[in-house]
Amino acid sequence: MMRQYELVERVQKYKPDADIALLNKAYVYAMQKHGRQKRASGDPYISHPLEVAAILTELHMDESTIAVALLHDTIEDTSATRAEIDAFFGDEIGALVEGLTKIKRLDLVSRKAQQAENLRKLFLAVADDVRVLLVKLADRLHNMRTLYYMRADKRRRISEETMEIYAPLAGRMGMQDMREELEDLSFQYINPEAYQTIKDKLEDLSGQNKALVKSIEDELRALLTEHGLEGVKVKGRLKKPFSIFNKMQSKSLSFEQMSDLYGFRIIVDELESCYRALGFVHTRWRMVPERFKDYISNPKQNGYQSLHTTIVGPLRQRIELQIRTRAMHDVAEYGIAAHSLYKEGRKAGGDETNVFSWFRKTIEALAEGDSPEEFLEHTKLELFQDQVFCFTPKGQLIALPKDATPIDFAYAVHTNIGDTCVGAKVNGRMMPLVTRLNNGDEVEIIRSGVQVPPPAWEGIVVTGKARAAIRRATRAAIRKQYSGLGYRILERTFARSGKTFSREVLASVLHRLGQSDVEDVIAAVGRNELSSSDVLKAVFPDHKDERVTIKPSPEDGWVSLPKGAGMAFRLPEGEGETGVPLRGLNGAAIVRFSPSGAVPGDRIVGITEDDGSITVYPIQSPGLQQYEDQPDRWIDIRWDIDSTNDKRFLARLGVNVLNEPGTLARITSTIATLDVNIRSIRMDVIAEDFAEVEMDMEVWDLRQLTQTINQLKALDCVATVKREFA
């Protein structure tokens, strides 16, 4: 376990004038507050904040950040308060500790929503001070190093979260060593067999090739020294297990087929020496085509700069090389922690270098009003992407994820440009909007003022910003389409209960309905995502919704409804007079089903006929198309069937079968075993080998109908099964 005096010595090595009194004071306070608390490993709890602080000393962080690391769990896990920490350590440290504590204080139902809100809280805290992020990553790294002592289910859950969010987040912040360690620690719990297999192979390979690695290092160093590059550092190393596994999976390779398990770094003093070294290496050994990348002239968004190339080396094996200056190497190893700007706790905004640009854009997405789940998806998309660099016609550089399209490019420039995009020129040629962009492409967006982004674009784009913008535009278009119908439905529902509906009455109950806007409520009713009776109850909680029991008419089997009654339906012939409670209609009316029927579980719509009767259709019925321009004839109705229901409902299936003896018997016997009643059946030969069977059957609900369809599909004499609608 790290000792306090060792921690102080580490800080003094890189900052001799550090405030040691602050570090000692923070240690004593944390020790007193955590008292006899233990970790899952049995170690004293104070060992955790000490180790987190030690990780931050490797990044050469200032003493305030080290003190925050020592105190980061005190408000959450002890009797400490923000006011007390402010009094002892000042407002700055108090705000940082509270920022880390707020990340944990959530009470949400779903784990996904909780994870999303955790990430939101973290990003907003980091917007105030980037040191929150550094402490959080160090905290996660030490927890991963000691994860073995947790339960197996917790180990896997925490590892998956680390792999999905914290490891790529460290990478986005340029902290590559931390990213690789987080990935490997997670990998060993997510896929322990693969991890151990690769680790064993790497250990064997390392023992066999130790002399080979040194030989390549010596030859590269001698080559560069021979051409006047003094003080060059060359270091070779094996790739990490997760990196190898990832490449094996993406390239469909076995371990033995991996030709570039070793990577070598060449570190020089000056920028121009990077390109000189590259020239000398390419002159001596052949370069592998399409394996050269210049991240010096085009840095990654996290500030990473280096030259990458792959050569066929001295013993005709592939060797990956990274060539960079010492300053670039510090950024590559420590990311944002390598910038003096962040060591002093500067905020994430204003005049900082490009290293923080991605993070600012992600924080801006918080203001777009997306749900926590959408924000989580957006962030994961941004975290995992490699980059390509494209240009506007005026020469502006736009960094995009790999496989980005012109649509992503348009939204990256500005949301309004994306919304109005109708075409694109790539390198001067008109290209489809699904074109995948490459490094160096010049993209010109063609726009139209009447364009609305189609929902299908969401499946084409790869950036979170584009997806979020398309969803918002789609929701706005749908809201406009359905708001008129929703308003009429609500007016009728309120009137039926003797109430008056207006937009104003909804404003105070939005929180009960899970909506942020009055128009969203109205459109949700129009789309049948929200029932009008639920809206009525939200506005008038004391209102009672009457349930009506329907009985069959003795004359013709159709039901006449008194005013205020629920939906009526035709009962199967020969059934008794027990009723079924349903809701949805107003006034006396004759109610029928469409010829192909409907079953509980279907989304249904009522259409008012010319004679005043009402026909019930499943929403996917093609018969509804003739009424699309007559919204005043549509009625909001729904099933209200409970577990005591003893009535069956009509559904029609079309089954394409082999035209051979016994087929019909196999179909009917299968249906009989599922407690389904066949009302009528017709079989027509449509080809020499095939026949079409149309069946009207009576089922309890959609679940039973789906089970029937699946059982029929499993028969070897059945080609296709589909539900038919009139």
Backbone torsions φ then ψ of 355, nearest 5 degrees = -55, -25
Q: Contact, 594 vs 623, CB < 8 A?
A: yes
Distance, CA of 695 to CA of 636 (rounded, Å): 29
Question: Is 77 a known active-site residue?
Answer: yes
What torsion, rounded to 10 degrees, do the Cα atoms 381, 178, 155, 47 define?
-140
60: left (phi over 0), alpha (psi -120 to 50) or beta: left
Count CA atoms closer than 13 A to 532's CA, side-chain side: 25
27: left (phi over 0), alpha (psi -120 to 50) or beta: alpha
Using alpha carbons, list the distances in angstroms from residue 526 to 492, 533, 606: 13, 13, 13
Q: How far apart are the first and last CA of the chain?
A: 74
Length of the chain as a residue count: 726
Q: Name the catalytic one among 19, 77, 86, 692.
A: 77
DSSP character string of 481-505: HHHHHHHHHHHHHHHHTT----HHH
Q: Contact, 419 vs 458, CB < 8 A?
A: no
Backbone torsions φ then ψ of 685, nearest 5 degrees = -80, 120
Neighbours of 323 (CB within 10 A): 24
Tokens of 50: 């000490």
Distance, CA of 47 to CA of 70 (rounded, Å): 10
Using alpha carbons, list the distances in angstroms from residue 208 to 200, 204, 259, 319: 13, 6, 15, 17
Using alpha carbons, list the distances in angstroms from residue 415 to 24, 59, 345, 465: 50, 37, 32, 8
Q: Is 608 exposed, middle or buried (0-12, 13-18, 19+ CB in 10 A)?
A: middle
Task: For Cα atoms 433, 435, 440, give the angle at the middle one, nearest 5 degrees.
Answer: 115
Give which of 361, 378, 446 is closest to 407, Cα–Cα: 446
DSSP character string of 137-186: HHHHHHHHHTGGGS-HHHHHHHHHHIIIIIHHHHHHTT-HHHHHHHHHHH
Q: Contact, 513 vs 534, CB < 8 A?
A: yes
Q: Which amino acid is at 481?
A: Q
Question: Is 91 a known active-site residue?
Answer: no
Q: Is 542 exposed, middle or buried (0-12, 13-18, 19+ CB in 10 A)?
A: exposed
290 sits in which H/E element: none
At 227 the three-state DSSP class reads: coil
Q: Is 523 exposed, middle or buried (0-12, 13-18, 19+ CB in 10 A)?
A: buried
Q: Name the catalytic one among 43, 76, 128, 724.
A: 76
The DSSP code for 642 is: -
Q: Contact, 501 vs 451, CB < 8 A?
A: no
The DSSP code for 600 is: B
Which residues does the annotation mark as catalytic? 76-77
